[in-house]
A and B are shown apart, each in its own frame.
Chain A
Amino acid sequence: MEIPYIVNARKDTGLNNSKIAIWLFLASEVMLFGGLFSSYIFLRIFADYPWPERVLPVLPGLVNTFILIASSVTVVFAWASLKLRNWKGFVGYMSFTIVCALVFMVLKGFEYNAKLHHQAIQYNDWTSIEGHTHPEEHGHGGNFYVIKAEEVNFDLGSYYNPYLDEIINRIGSVKTSVGKDVVINEFDGNKLIQNPLINAGDPINLEGSSDEEGSLRYVLALAKESYLETRKHNEQVKEASLRQAWKNVKSNADGRFNAVQEFTQYDQAKKDAAIEENAKILESGEYGTLVDNKGSFKLAVDGAEIKIKPSWGRMVGAKEGVDSSISLLDKTSIIGKAGDSGMDIDVDAVDHRHLVMKARDRKYSQAKIDEMIEDWYKSLGDSKGADQIRSYWEMHKKWRALWTEELKNEYGLDDDGEPNRVPTDIELYRMTWKNIVAYKEIEKDPELELTLENVKANLPSMIDGFLGANHSKFNVKDDDGHVIEKTRHFPLLHVARQDIKFESVFSPKMNNYYAIYFTVTGLHGLHVIGGALVLGYYLFFGYGMYKENPEWLANRVEVGGLFWHFVDLVWIFVFPIFYLM
């Protein structure tokens, strides 16, 4: 059957099939992105934390905007080339469009990668620091809950093998033994047969597989099987007993409900009777007896240091040396004394705005707010990194005093004698990585004074910070480009776990801003990929259609191009909203 109106327009609408279809689709896309943009607006208006305003590096967003605009121009040129029956022109313009899509996605990948490797830590007083954490090396670094374990309790119904493997790996060669007797239950009909498998105090081999007799995995596998069998048996006994109990009650054989008149009372009386009857049947053992079923296996560990990723569970008692426990998502619990769960971080930003916001909500005076900020710096202790960060803060305070004065001189005072322009909260309460670099450069050179000009002259350029804080730029390298020394522009801090209110990389978990940022840009990226696939199909497989009916291909490219322009149109809003506001 020939499908009508694939090239020529219907007389009544003046449109062909694909044209009307793409516009209906674009209408649904308007609703989709409209919904997401309105979510952004409401999330921002009602945010109860300082909105991360103008935090994304502008340059990658700007380059991507130029790339999409250029591709929008070339896609329409590709369509015009087809209309002029210029196949080579079409191939050239369409190839450029697809290369643009690829470059756009690669750049987006770099942006995402930079964010997912950038860490933020919020202290209990709401001060936040940002920076790069150290990967685990020679037993140090990384982001872990650390516990000197005395016992590990595995939940037999739900223990998860990757967690088990990690725990075994972390225990290593430390002495372990079985924490309590393990008995295996078997059932011959309703008859219970119990065989001891291993006794409390017995040593246990951690390394062996689940087929190796006497190994932890073997014992856990058998104990799990026994646990599940016993649970099944108990369920069967309970179900049969309850069925019989209700049967007895419903038959009303002893006429016990004859005197009950009220409907509601009758209902309750039946329930009570069923419970009573059930207890009697269970006691009689008519359908078997319930078997005591221990759902856990206890492993005694002689103080092994176990490290667990925070995303795997929750730690109670994080201060080093106190009684502590870690509960994993698979219900495994590790009990012992807390180890050093602190995080090492090269700090590239300090942000007090959340603290200030909370303090203002409580109507604290400015003097009190300043004192709270100073208290945070005092609380950092006396490490080299802490001294450095305090020194930066002193420089920042000088800089903001100079900047306040500069704004006053530049823009004057209003009728009430107040300055027309004052520094923003970001300038006052957030030391960015660019500030830190400038302060370090000034500190290094004894001839440089802290002035507005010198700070400005030493700020890293947009290229240096193409994807945000650039740590590797300042390392000392030899002639071959190998790092000889990591220059500490960015102070190294060790943050104790108990001081941390919240920590996260810059992922959707971080806050609503990053959640909506990743949602919108991720969805937009999927559209770029989808559009590039469709346009690529016309480029690589369209020649046959061009030979058969060039107008048909021109129509298809126009429709694909409409989608591509829409993708560009969405980005035209994404760029200023997420990168510049």
Chain B
Amino acid sequence: MGEIVVDVNDLSRSFGTKDALDHVSFRATVGQVYGLVGANGAGKTTLLKHLLGLLRAATGSVRVFGLDPVRDPVGVLSRVGYLSEERDLPEWMRVDELMRYTQAFHPTWDASFARELLETFGLDRSKKIKELSKGMRAQAGLVAAVAHRPELLILDEPSSGLDAVVRRDILNAIVRTVADDGRTVIFSSHLLDEVERMSDHVTMIHNGRVTLSGALDDVRHGYQRSRVRFVEHFDQPPILDSALAMDGGGRSWSVVHSGSLEQFRHSVLALGGEVVESRDATLEEIFLARAGRNRQQVEVA
């Protein structure tokens, strides 16, 4: 258990009548990768903005490196690298000017690293930002974010709308940040296979509340996907204990369920069926199952 880098405690924030965050707590320790997942508008970007001081905490507290990002923006932002979908880079700046400008604000800037990254990405230093494509802008923003070797890297849906090459560059940057001297990464993404590969811990946010949080392997182990075969033919999905989502039809069904495997086996046997095979669910299956269940709950209510 290392030093705590980010400490969010009971954070709530609403915009007008909408509750964007509802008593959210989140802790990040040094050297780990944290993945944030959730539906659009669930509150991931809002949470990340609080870490950067872009939003004030209405109730609760936010501490990054032990400092309040609103009270002490320089102390926090000088040690943080930030990349988001709408980075708003000044259109008139050239790439090399952007590098020099960012360098002035971060004394830990590594010029050779920056040069190496620019060469790897193949970015033309004399081009203006407005002449770059979306992918190249993301790459330029990435260099500006990681070249000063930040202690905390915050990525808000960095891969959205980008091609595979740029996505690979971003993932590599995450790896390098963590592998070199154990720095911390927090990123939110819709691409669940990315989150699954790259996260040590995963946090799922739904409607402003944290619905799942823990080490990725533990979370996955808490959910199983089983293939079930029944003697009878079922038109509607059979009611099974702790089942979250069911696929299939007739006699063969594929079920995502939480909780103990034994209990599930019992309930299957009780309905005259058997579990053919069982494995840990993937993050995408968990996410879809929970989202589907929540939608069902809303409809019932």
Q: Do A and B come from one complex?
A: no
